[in-house]
Amino acid sequence: MKTAEQYEESLRQLHFKVYVQGELVENPVDHPIIRPSMNSVKATYELAELPEYEDLMTATSHLTGKKINRFCHLHQSTEDLIKKVKMQRLLGQKTAACFQRCVGMDAINAVDSVTYEMDQKLGTHYHERFVQFLLNMQEQDWTVDGAMTDPKGDRGLGPSKQADPDLYVRIVEQREDGIVVRGAKCHQTGALNSHWILVMPTISMTQEDRDYAVSFVAPADAEGIFYIYGRQSCDTRKLEGGDIDVGNKQFGGHEALMVFDNVFIPWENVFMCGEYEFSGALVERFAGYHRQSYGGCKVGVGDVLIGAAALAADYNGAQKASHLKDKLIEMVHLNETLYACGIACSAEGYKTASGTYLIDLLLANVCKQNVTRFPYEIARLAEDIAGGLMVTMPSEKDLRHPVIGKVVEKYFKGVAAVPTEYRMRVLRLIENLTLGTAAVGYRTESMHGAGSPQAQRIMIARQGNITQKKELAKAIAGIPVQG
């Protein structure tokens, strides 16, 4: 396994082509806007080195018997699925941000079972190619970015019917030695902190869209791949040099547009090439795993937000107010409900044909449906408890100013025993988690990450088995089964 320092050094060896606010960046690792997101991924390596977290952060490879980082592991039991959720909560607590590595873990688990079933039915050799990649991933302790979401263009049209055919990633050429792909993937979490990209189709494809039914891996800095970094609210505060106004100076997350400009993929790295009938299963399983993930990571960040709100009440001198106590209880209740869903869909998981365990898809979608709602209410309650000063407070430079700093210190103090700076710090943290850069990985991502709310409702309708429930009601009511 890589150490945290080895991980950072490995990123420095890559040659990314990335644009940030219109400028080509030569050194993404140390760029002040990108660096906090790298620190979050680095924490997944750092915690894996600590004995107290070994049980959650590491696993035993079913391929080699070696100890590996859990993010490189294929789930071999429901216990593995549960430990995944607990690990994600831990990392959310430690970073209060998106630690980005979940997407790749969810992708490898989905690709494993689908390629196995594809080979069994079609006589292809995708699974053995995938296993070879997985062996290398585990041996090198790579961070892999799972890439699923295409730009999509006109949502009323399928991939092959778009005015611009590149709005979904597609195969533009098949050669003796591999394929050439073109297109883009949007909202790519942690792309610039990854060693490899694992691409999957974004929707269930039809025969006429077979060129878009493609899955493959590519080095994150492969020739023809470039990135346009996404904006986040308050992101330029990271350029100011202070740390209070950022709220969370050390950790963060990032998203990017990933563009494939005629990228060559050798056959050994191709896991689907036109087998459109398996695209739906791959999308469904990846989405299910990733919706499970939100029952861990968002809960861990929620723990930090609840703690920050409680501190704000303390620093405001309002901690004894019964209505604030009740709001904190409600925040805990909502947060633990999300966690319960993540654990439940894991405990009800089952073994697929390849041996990898899949979560209960219905419960995973219920988990994510709750995530589209509860973090918004948790954030609202935190803002309520914090008070209006959270969004009207002067800057850190004002606090440090030789003249007006004393005025800021005097008039923005809450409880006399608590330094004004501490009060400002916790309010900025709440702002960061609910409105700032961390909100991208907490509040807004809770809505659209792993699919929009309607995507989960479609799956809930599909998995909910209303017909069987009707039969249960008939039996109790004494209605003939065929009636």
Q: Is 309 in the same domain as 227?
A: no
Q: Is 102 in the same domain as 251?
A: yes
Q: What angle do helix axes 35-46 and 4-12 make, rounded to 10 degrees? A: 140
Q: Is 105 in the same domain as 221?
A: yes
- Residue 471 maps to a domain: no
Strand ranges for 127-213 from DSSP E: 144-147, 170-175, 178-185, 196-199
Q: Which helix (H) or strand (E) holds 68?
A: strand 67-69
- The one catalytic residue in 149, 189, 356, 437 is 189
Mean pLDDT by 10 residues, the chain (483 residues): 98 98 97 98 98 98 98 98 98 98 98 98 98 98 98 97 98 98 98 98 98 98 98 95 96 97 98 98 98 98 98 98 98 98 98 98 98 98 98 98 98 98 98 92 91 95 96 95 70
**pTM above threshold 0.75:** yes
- Dist CA 246 CA 424 (whole Å): 11
Q: Is 268 in the same domain as 307?
A: no
Give the 3-state secondary structure of 141-163.
CCCEEEECCCCCCCCCCCHHHCC
- The one catalytic residue in 297, 341, 345, 367 is 297
Q: Is 242 in the same domain as 360?
A: no
Q: Note the pLDDT of residue 481.
A: 83
* CATH number for the domain harbouring residue 401: 1.20.140.10
Q: Is 245 in the same domain as 369?
A: no
- The one catalytic residue in 126, 294, 315, 357 is 294
- Residue 154 maps to a domain: yes
DSSP assignments along 37-60, one per residue: HHHHHHHHHHGGGSGGGHHHHEEE
The residue among 260, 278, 296 that closes a domain is: 278
Q: Is 258 in the same domain as 110?
A: yes
Q: Is 211 in the same domain as 352?
A: no
Q: Note the pLDDT of residue 440.
A: 87
- 58 labelled catalytic: no
* CATH number for the domain harbouring residue 242: 2.40.110.10
The residue among 214, 249, 278 that closes a domain is: 278
Q: Note the pLDDT of residue 92.
A: 98
- Residue 85 maps to a domain: no
The residue among 249, 278, 307 that closes a domain is: 278
- Residue 395 maps to a domain: yes
| Number of structural domains in the chain | 2
- The one catalytic residue in 8, 58, 102, 356 is 102
Q: Is 135 in the same domain as 20?
A: yes
Q: Is 363 in the same domain as 347?
A: yes
Q: Is 444 in the same domain as 342?
A: yes
CA distances in angstroms from 21 to 27, 33, 250, 256, 376, listed in the order given: 14, 10, 21, 12, 29
Q: Note the pLDDT of residue 114.
A: 98
Q: Are 79 and 58 in contact (CB under 8 A)?
A: no
Domain of 244 in residue numbering reads as 4-78+98-278
Contacts of residue 337, defined as CB under 8 A and 6 or more positions apart, other chains included, come to 370, 374
Listed residue (279, 248, 247) closest to 391, CA to CA: 247
- 401 labelled catalytic: no
- Residue 84 maps to a domain: no
- Residue 474 maps to a domain: no
Q: Note the pLDDT of residue 483.
A: 53
- Residue 470 maps to a domain: no
- 290 labelled catalytic: yes
Q: Is 70 in the same domain as 202?
A: yes
- 19 labelled catalytic: no
- 445 labelled catalytic: yes
Q: Note the pLDDT of residue 8.
A: 98
Give me the helices (H) in 348-373, please.
361-371
- 31 labelled catalytic: no
